[in-house]
C-alpha cells in the first residue's frame, strides 16, 4: 500500500475499556478507564509523551483476566491491572524502550 509508514511510537499501550454494563465480565468492571487516565498521567510525568501512546481499546479477548493492558510492539501483556498499577506499568514501559539504566 502506498501510504504505509513506520509506527511513530516506541511503545503503544492499549488499555481495554470495554464495558458490558454488568451483563458479562468486562474490563470496565475493574475501573479500566481510571487505569487508562492514571497511566496517561504517569507517561506525561515521566516525559514520555510523544514516544509512548496510551489508547483505550475494545475487547482484547481475555476478559476473564481483565482489566487488560497490552504493549506493542513489545508484545507485553498485563492482566488484572488496576489504577494503582499505573506507575509500575509506566516504569516497565520505560525499561522496555530503553529509558532506564536497567533496560
Residues forming contacts to ligand FES in the complex (CB under 6 A) are 16, 18, 26-27, 59-63, 66, 68
Q: Which is nearer to ligand FES, 8 or 61 (CB)?
A: 61
Q: Which is nearer to ligand FES, 59 or 97 (CB)?
A: 59
Q: Residue 89: name the closest of 37, 42, 55 by CA.
A: 42
How far apart are alpha carbons 68 and 43 in whole angstroms? 18
Q: Which is nearer to ligand FES, 27 or 90 (CB)?
A: 27
Close Cβ partners of 96 (under 8 Å, ≥ 6 residues apart): 11, 71, 74, 76, 103
Q: Which is nearer to ligand FES, 27 or 89 (CB)?
A: 27
- Cβ at position 103, least distance to ligand FES in Å: 28
Close Cβ partners of 89 (under 8 Å, ≥ 6 residues apart): 13, 39, 42, 69, 78, 81
- Cβ at position 77, least distance to ligand FES in Å: 10
- Cβ at position 15, least distance to ligand FES in Å: 9
Amino acid at each position: 500500500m502506498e501510504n504505509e509508514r513506520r509506527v511513530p511510537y516506541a511503545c503503544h499501550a492499549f488499555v481495554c475499556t470495554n464495558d458490558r454494563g454488568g451483563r458479562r465480565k468486562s474490563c470496565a468492571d475493574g475501573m479500566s478507564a481510571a487505569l487508562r487516565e492514571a497511566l496517561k498521567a504517569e507517561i506525561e510525568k515521566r516525559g514520555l509523551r510523544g514516544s509512548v501512546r496510551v489508547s483505550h481499546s475494545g475487547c482484547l479477548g481475555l476478559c476473564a483476566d481483565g482489566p487488560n493492558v497490552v504493549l506493542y510492539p513489545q508484545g507485553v501483556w498485563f492482566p488484572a491491572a488496576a489504577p494503582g498499577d499505573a506507575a509500575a506499568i509506566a516504569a516497565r514501559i520505560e525499561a522496555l524502550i530503553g529509558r532506564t539504566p536497567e533496560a
